[in-house]
Amino acid sequence: MHHPSLGLFSPLQLRELTLLNRIAVSPMCQYSATNGLADDWHFVHLGSRAIGGAGLILTEATSVSPEGRISPGDLGLWSDGHIPGLQRIVNFLHQQGSAAGIQLGHAGRKASMSPPWEETRLIPEEEGGWTNILGASPIAFSEHHAVPHSLSKSEILRLQQDFRAATLRAVQAGFDVLEVHAAHGYLFHQFLSPLSNTRDDEYGGSFENRARFLLETIAQVRDVWPVSLPLFVRISATDWLEFDGQPHPDGFGWTVAESLQLIPLLKNAGVDLIDVSTGGNVAKSTIPVGPGYQTIFAEQVRRTAEIRTGAVGMITSPEQADQIIRSGQADLVLLARELLRDPYWPLHAAQQLRHDISWPVQYVRAAAGHKPPRLPFVSSSTLE
């Protein structure tokens, strides 16, 4: 799977899609939408990173239903009315040579919350929040969150249809990559972890049962997502309770071992890349945050399951990102905070790594030396 000459700026082939480089804009909530609609903020925010040279740009977690939003300001794709705003963004990303990805998700018990720049609180209905908070089991995430309503079998099936319908809309909007968000304590993670899932039906208890909701949904998504295009899943590799020395009273939660058990099932279901993150489902876990602190898990998944992986988490320097690719720890690096600080990080990284990359023709005079304009985005499927 690994070739040492493949660095950060080598192309990445995923099914019939070719990314120009291995740099992806990680999904980052902006809490700036009204009724789930993408507006000028999202256009400029995502478009700037395309001008900056990222090979793949993923939207923030985009909810498949109104009550699945983390906050009232989240993006949505639960109606056809959401398509035009996203399509406008996709078209612009393609013009800059970037591939466009959408992350579909459902917040579950972490829904209807305030944005992070405000005090943590549940948003009431009179301020645009909602009371229909859903989860695997009636266990609140924290004292600030609502106790969720435990999803019935019929509600689970309806949500799977919501993911299917949102996938079809993502196709209409022109996206090249679809990622299902099963990490960070949101709905799928809530089903996976025994700390948030105490059900006694076919969706709770054993590993097979806790993984059932996600795997059934992946089947619905893959059924309507074009076979020529790649499907990603973001997971939290661990709840971080197996590493702090003191087991949680209820056990270790979701573990690396269970993640490694899940990945082959996702691979068999048609998933092409695992976006490996950690944590988010336990309010008081101890996470040893530091440079590239999650990369070890991406490497473990990649080597054990022989599937492509994305590394995310405190990746900041070009040398660090390049080394992750060259050493075979991951196939893609997803940057978040660093791309907020510098939308042109890929262009600057290329200069630092002495790689020849074309700046947008409008910016060439300001770049070091005169470079030809970047080519428009082309996937091999459009060449047939």
Q: Is the pLDDT of residue 373 over 50?
A: no
For 268-312, how does the pLDDT look when each residue is reduced to its tens digit (9 = 90+)?
999 999 999 999 999 887 777 888 888 999 999 999 999 999 999
Report the pLDDT value the prediction gives residue 382, as an integer from 0 to 100.
Answer: 42
Reply yes or no on whether the pLDDT at 251 is more than 70.
no
- Catalytic residues, which ones? 186
Q: What is the reported pLDDT for 274?
A: 98
Nearest to 340 by CA among 33, 5, 42, 49: 49
The Cα–Cα gap between 35 and 89 comes to 17
CB atoms within 10 A of CB 316: 15
H or E segment and range at residue 297? helix 295-305
β-strands 12-14, 17-19: how paired?
Answer: antiparallel
- DSSP state, 251? B
Q: Are 148 and 139 in contact (CB under 8 A)?
A: yes
Q: Does the pLDDT value for residue 39 go beyond 80?
A: yes
Which range, of 30-44, 54-68, 230-244, averages the lowest pLDDT? 230-244
The whole-number average pLDDT for the span 64-82 is 98
Answer for the pair 67, 111: CB distance below 8 angstroms, yes or no: yes
pLDDT at 369 over 70: no
Confidence of residue 20 (pLDDT cuts 50, 70, 90): very high
| pLDDT tier at 377, thresholds 50, 70, 90 | low
The yes-or-no verdict on residue 379 having pLDDT over 60 is no
Tens digit of each residue's pLDDT (9 = 90 or more) over 134-167: 999 999 999 999 999 999 999 999 999 999 999 9
Percent of the chain surpassing pLDDT 70: 92
Give tens-digit pLDDT for 326-361.
Answer: 999 999 999 999 999 999 999 999 999 999 888 888
The single residue listed with the structure tokens 């996976």 is 192
Is 286 within 8 Å of 241 (Cβ atoms)? no
Q: What is the largest CA-CA distance in the chain?
A: 65
Q: Which two tokens stand for residue 203?
A: 């969706």
pLDDT over 70 at 19, yes or no: yes
- At 175-206, the pLDDT tens digits run 999 999 999 999 999 999 999 999 999 999 99
Contact 246, 253 (CB under 8 A): no
* pLDDT at residue 45, as a whole number: 98
DSSP letters, 90-131, are: HHHHHHTT-EEEEEEE--GGG-SB--TTS---BPPGGGT--S
The predicted model gives 220-225 an average pLDDT of 98
pLDDT at 263: 97
Tens digit of pLDDT for each residue in 91-112? 999 999 999 999 999 999 999 9
Compute and round to an integer the Cα radius of gyration of the chain.
20
